[in-house]
A and B are shown apart, each in its own frame.
Chain A
Amino acid sequence: MSVHGVMEHIAALVPAGSRVLDLGCGTGELLAWLQKHKGCTGYGVELDDANLLQCVQRGVNAIQLNLEEGLAIFEDQSFDVVLQLETLQHLRNAEQMLRETARVGRIGIVSFPNFAHWPNRLQVLLGRMPVTRTLPYEWYDTPNIRVGTHADFEILARKNRLRVLDSFGIQDGRMVRTRPNLMASMAVFKFERG
């Protein structure tokens, strides 16, 4: 799957000129792109030293924080968009973070590996935990401590009174709108507080 393909679809969800908070921003690639091409401003949050350094090199504002410690440093509704891309599945307090995302931003955008993608289902059916390009780790050393599906997220969103504005899957860099729970390895949701 092309990272650029994923980034393109996510970037398209961010309105031009938005104030953006990117939780787990990595090397700041997406924020730099949003700043340059869509006139966005904002910050990335990143824990890893090497990633933080790359953000500074790119000219992206980056705050070194551990997301497990929460988002108390950010005020309610202080961002137009809060991004949480392929981060949620690493967090012990995933549900709390989802709520915090909705508190801090007017719009939340999350992406995560979809455990219900058909090759994963097949591997489980054959009795093994899936190891794929999107879920490349063995069960005993995976950083993905929260494995969920596209369909699961819809239920979690409802439970937390989040209104889903858009959702789709991404497979091989392409957007999947038909049966994304089965057909896409990555799930994307755009939501607001209900």
Chain B
Amino acid sequence: MGSVGHVEAQRLRFEQPLPLRSGASIRDYELVYETYGRLNADKSNAVLVCHALNASHHVAGTYAGQDKSEGWWDNLVGPGKPLDTDRFFVIGINNLGSCFGSTGPMHLNPETGRVYGADFPVVTVHDWVDAQARVLDHLGIQRLAAVLGGSLGGMQALDWSLRYPERMGHCIAIATAPSLSAQNIAFNEVARRAIITDPDFHGGHFYAHGVVPKRGLRVARMIGHITYLSDDVMEQKFGRQMRAAELGYSTQDIEFQIESYLRYQGDKFSEYFDANTYLLITRALDYFDPAREHGGDLSRTFAPARCKYLLASFTTDWRFSPARSREIVKALLDNKLDVSYAEIDAPHGHDAFLLEDPRYHGVLRAYFNRIAGEFGQ
């Protein structure tokens, strides 16, 4: 099993406006993407990998001259890996509104000639899926062998199967949900308030002030991080470990290792992530609810679906719990669609979908083998 090696991102410019779910549209936008492996002659081996909140088009491989630049799903995607780039042509696309290269809030608004900032239109999972379809049109790929994603990426994979049922063979949705729960939205709202109430946020137009609302971003990330981990894993990793041997009797200094860890994660995140992007992406999560147009009936929602499904969840994931995946499984069963579902008993909480559990990767490997068999690889 190897790495796809050094990779380079590619950039596509779209002049044709993209109509958005909100009624607005975005024109003159760019999307960056990466591909791994080779597209076969009849273009039947393409797999789209959709990214989650803080990830990007950089799914696998490394950038030349940059240490520790492995893609976010490098343990899954590569030669001989479960999503084997010797057989599949894998595509990662950075979503609109992101801060990793595709047009986002830090770019110039062609309408005003000024940086978008808070004026960047609200984008939805649906809009991202439409934008991704345009990239595939450009690559000449009419039909995907599969769309794969975890968490928010899983929502995109599900939406693909509803929006473009004829354009894909398989939908693989990991650690995801048919919509956010009130608790999920609540966490997102706390994170957003942390950012918006940071004095350096300036209503989203902080770029012009030469500042970054880092305090807000740090807190947002700390909250997010808590929800990605299970209670067990936090207990096991940190427990009540102290920084020093003696209590410092301080209310403001770091006393416990978990505090140190969260602050470190927050600091790191605030150095590279854009505050407006964080607001946009958490809103896209909140809004995702394909059943909304069908009176909340998830079974009716999946009536147009045609592809085959693999779903997986993790028992200790309380952010996107197995019960939410089972809701999707039920809707697929009600529509007599082909579906397999793995409920992996892993201790790592929501983060498990990015880790290398042998049971989890074993199921993905077996499923991709099956897909490869369909186009004779």
Q: Which residues of A contact B (CB under 8 A)?
A: 19, 41, 43, 49, 52-53, 55-57, 59, 61-65, 73-75, 78
Contact = CB atoms under 8 A, between A and B. Distances in A.
A74 B330 CA distance: 7
Contacts of A62: 340-341
Nearest to B312: A64
Given A53-B363, A56-B367, A56-B370, A74 B333 contact: yes
B367 A64 contact: no
Nearest to B322: A64
Contacts of A59: 370
B369 interface: yes
Contacts of A63: 329, 333, 339-341
A64 B343 contact: yes
Interface in B320-377: 326, 329-330, 333-334, 336, 338-345, 359, 362-363, 366-367, 369-370
A65 B329 CA distance: 11
Closest 10 CB pairs of A and B: A56-B366, A64-B343, A57-B366, A63-B341, A49-B359, A73-B330, A62-B340, A53-B362, A64-B342, A61-B340
A19 B336 contact: yes
Nearest to A66: B343
B77 to A, nearest CB: 19
A164 B48 CA distance: 50
Given A61-B340, A63-B339, A52 B370 contact: no
Contacts of B340: 52, 55-56, 61-63
A61 B369 contact: no
A74 B332 CA distance: 11
Nearest to B345: A49
Given A53-B363, A57-B369, 13 more contacts: A49-B344, A49-B345, A53-B362, A56-B363, A56-B366, A57-B370, A61-B339, A62-B341, A63-B333, A63-B339, A65-B343, A74-B333, A75-B334
Contacts of B344: 49
A57 B366 CA distance: 5
Please report whether the interface of chain B is mostly helix, strand, loop or mixed according to DSSP. Answer: helix
Contacts of B339: 43, 61, 63
Contact of B329 (A53, A73, A75): A73
Nearest to A47: B343
5 contacts: A43-B339, A49-B359, A52-B363, A56-B367, A63-B341
A37 B330 CA distance: 27
Q: Which of A41, A59, A74 has the most CB of B within 10 A?
A: A59
B27 to A, nearest CB: 44
Nearest to B334: A75
Contacts of B330: 73
A61 B342 CA distance: 11
Contacts of B366: 53, 56-57
B333 A73 contact: yes
A62 B339 CA distance: 7
A68 B254 CA distance: 46
A52 B370 CA distance: 14
Contacts of B341: 62-65
Contacts of A53: 359, 362-363, 366
A122 B336 CA distance: 48
B45 to A, nearest CB: 18
B333 A43 contact: yes
A74 B333 CA distance: 7
A78 B359 CA distance: 30
A73 B299 CA distance: 12
A137 to B, nearest CB: 24
Contacts of A57: 366, 369-370
A19 B334 CA distance: 13
Q: Which of A64, A65, A73, A75 has the most CB of B within 10 A?
A: A64
Q: Which of B341, B345, B370 has the most CB of A within 10 A?
A: B341
B212 to A, nearest CB: 44
B127 to A, nearest CB: 32
Q: Which of B340, B362, B370 has the most CB of A within 10 A?
A: B340
Contacts of B336: 19, 41
Interface in B127-170: none
Given A56-B370, A64-B342, A65-B343, A78 B362 contact: no
Contacts of A74: 333
Contacts of A64: 341-343
A60 to B, nearest CB: 8
A41 B337 CA distance: 10
B57 to A, nearest CB: 28
B326 A73 contact: yes
A161 B280 CA distance: 57
Contacts of B310: 56
A52 to B, nearest CB: 6
A64 B312 CA distance: 9
Nearest to A54: B366
